[in-house]
Each structure stands twice: as structure tokens, then as C-alpha cells.
Amino acid sequence: MACFQKRSGAWRAIVKRKGYPTQTRTFDAKAEAEAWAAGVEFEMARGVFVSRSEAEATTLAMALERYAEEIAPRKKDRYHDVLRCRRLSRRPLARRSLASIKGSDVATFIRERQADGVGANMIRLDLALLSHVFTVAGSAWGMESLGNPVQRVKGQRPKLPQGRDRRLVDDEQDRLLASAATYGGEIGQIITWAIETAMRRGEIAAMRWEHLDRRARVLLIPETKNGTPRRVPLSTVALGVLDALPRRLDGRAWGMRPDSISQAFERVCKAAGVEGLTFHDLRHEATSRLFEKGLNPMQVAAITGHKTLQMLKRYTHLRAEDLVGMLG
């Protein structure tokens, strides 16, 4: 039988039943306390009750902190996952208990992020992390009663924009390389390498000499974004870039880190008068050029590492003018 205690304007519900630990929870209104207690008693009577006490005592901020310590270090993108956990833990939603967060709260979170001007992809990544936090809490942290409110708002998630279609036009490549030569360092060679190989920024920065098979003209990428290693065939131009590089004592091919590459590229673009181009657009450019050379989708996917034709399409922007000669 449940009992209720009024304390400082709030109502505390207490449910005791033989064979179960005592359940307590505090509400603003007595009606809410009575409804909660009736639900708990009903589940106990049916033998399907699962304690919510831990989920009710654990705030989202606490769960995010635990996730950053225990789960994120085992993930490939651990650095950004930890940063995302820290950022989300500062949101008002993070002060709520896991058990109290509903689908409507997640929908409100989405609207707030959109109002802040956050892009659809960033919101998608935030929701993916939140969803995994609830999944891990329910399966590995002993909170079996906990549902996943993120899964209830699939239809309200922001739609991703169409893939970018920015490609190099006219003499932009020559201007970029000339500007990069003036800028100095490795950025000019990295630009050429990116256009020749369609490799991602992080993959380029992580390149090591030990992964190069010079005789076979193939570079191994042991760690990729999608988790599948791949071998990239190298063009004559790409080999020329490698042959001109000095050998580093640490075994890395380049001295620049991913963020440094983006910063240098941005400055080179500005100096060259090239607008609206990101370093990642070079991957689009390289992928499109592979098709223009006559490679089929499976061959291109083997080079770029795309697992689906849909994703490959997002990175492919063929110009009608360049396809005329292939028609005969």
C-alpha cells in the first residue's frame, strides 16, 4: 500500500511491497504522486516491475560524464565525442534525470538547437550521441526500465541538406597552388595529394611511410571513417608528390595535423581569391574526376571508401560539359 507525505509544498510517494525494494519519488502535486504510485503497484502486482530509482537519481549530465569516461575512449571519434559530451552537459536538459526525459523534451532540444543556428548535421550528431547514452544506460549500466526518448522523435529530426556541389572551376586549381607556394610549407603538396587520391583530411594527416607499397603504387589506410581499411591506388602525380617529401623521423608522411590543414587551406583560398571552397570539397572534386576518367561506381568506391552508392552520389558532381566527349 502506498503512502504519501507532504514536505515543503511537495508530495513524496512511498511504495512498499514484499519482495521489492522500497520505491520513493517526490512530485509537485499529490495527484501526480498517486498516479505514479498506482503505476508502480500495478507493475509489482503483475510481476513486471523494474526499479527506476537509479534512472531517476542519475541526471543526463552525470550520464554524459560517465559516457565520456567509459564509452567514448573506445570509439574511433573519441576526441569529438568527449567534446560533444561536455557541450551537451551544459544544456538545460542535462540537469534532468534520465527517467524524466521524454520524446517531447528531445523535440524541444532540437528546436532550441535550430534556433541557435546549429546546422542539421551537428544536431544529428548530438542526437546520435544522446541516443547511445540512453541505450548504454539501459543495457550496460543496470537501468533496464529506461526507454530511449531519442528514438521517439525520428520524424522530427532536421533533414540533412543536399550534398555540396562545389568544384574547382576555370583556373582555381592553378591559383590555389600558386598561393600555396607563396604560403609555404606542405599545404600545396597536400592540396595536390587530396585531388589525386580523394582521401579525407584526417586520413592524409595520419599517413605513414610504413603503409606505402612503392612498387605496387598502393597506400594502405588502416583506419578510416567507416571503420574499414582500404588500399588507395596512386597516380603518377601522387607518386611524384611522395617522392618530393622528406622522410620524417616519426614515420609520418606529413607534419600537419587535421586542424592545421584546414586553417592553412582557408588562408590559401583567401589569398588566391577562391571563395566558397572547403578542404573537404577537394574530396568531391577528386571523386568526380575519377568518374570522368571512365571508372565505374564500384571502382570509384574502392578508392574513396564509400560503402553505399547513395553516399558516393553525394560526393560526385559530374559536369555535363566534361561528359560530352564520352558520348561520341
Secondary structure percentages of the chain, helix, strand, coil, to 5 = 55, 10, 35
Are 191 and 176 contacting, i.e. CB atoms less than 8 angstroms apart? yes
Looking at residue 105, its pLDDT comes to: 92
For the segment 126-164, what is each residue's pLDDT rounded down to a tens digit? 999 999 999 998 888 878 777 899 988 877 777 766 666
Q: Which is more confidently placed, 241 or 58? A: 241
For cell 562545389, what's the residue?
Answer: 166
In three-state secondary structure terms, 180 is helix
The residue ranges of every structural domain in the chain are 2-49, 57-156, 172-327
Q: Does domain 172-327 have CATH number 1.10.10.10?
A: no
Q: How confident is the model at residue 255 (pLDDT cuts 50, 70, 90)?
A: very high
Confidence bin at 49 (pLDDT 50/70/90): low
Q: If pLDDT is split at 50, 70 and 90, which confidence band does 293 have?
A: confident
267 tagged catalytic: no
Topology of 57-156 in CATH? Answer: DNA polymerase; domain 1 (1.10.150)
- Whether 283 sits among the annotated catalytic residues: the reply is yes
- Is the pTM value of this prediction over 0.75? no
Residue 328 pLDDT exceeds 60: no
Q: Which three cell numbers, joined as nine digits, stand for 58?
A: 542519475
List the catalytic residue out of 225, 257, 270, 319: 225
Which residue in 52, 84, 113, 200 is the catalytic one? 200
Average pLDDT taken over every residue of the chain: 86
CB count, 10 Å around CB of 226?
11
225 is catalytic: yes
Please name which of 262, 144, 138 lies closest in space to residue 200, comparing C-alpha atoms.
262
In the block, cell 582557408 appears at: 266
Q: 198: alpha, beta or left, given left = phi > 0 and alpha = psi -120 to 50?
A: left
Q: What's the confidence (pLDDT) of residue 109?
A: 93
Higher model confidence: residue 214 or residue 9? 214
Cα–Cα distance, 280 to 286 (Å, whole number): 10
The residue annotated as part of the active site, out of 84, 283, 284, 289, is 283
Residues with Cβ < 8 Å from 72, sequence gap 6 or more? 78, 81, 82, 85
Catalytic residue among 211, 280, 314, 317: 280
Confidence of residue 271 (pLDDT cuts 50, 70, 90): very high
- Is there a catalytic annotation at residue 280? yes
Average pLDDT over residues 236-261: 93
- Stretch among 87-101, 204-218, 300-314 having the lowest mean pLDDT: 300-314
- State the burial class of residue 279 (Cβ atoms within 10 Å of its Cβ: 0-12, 13-18, 19+): buried
Q: Confidence class of residue 315 from pLDDT cuts 50, 70 and 90?
A: low
Which of 67-76, 274-283, 317-326 has the highest average model confidence (pLDDT)? Answer: 274-283
Q: Is 80 known to be catalytic?
A: no
C-alpha cell at 321: 560539359
pLDDT of residue 236: 93
Tens of pLDDT, residue by residue over 174-213, are 999 999 999 999 999 999 999 999 999 999 999 999 999 9
Active site residue 315: yes
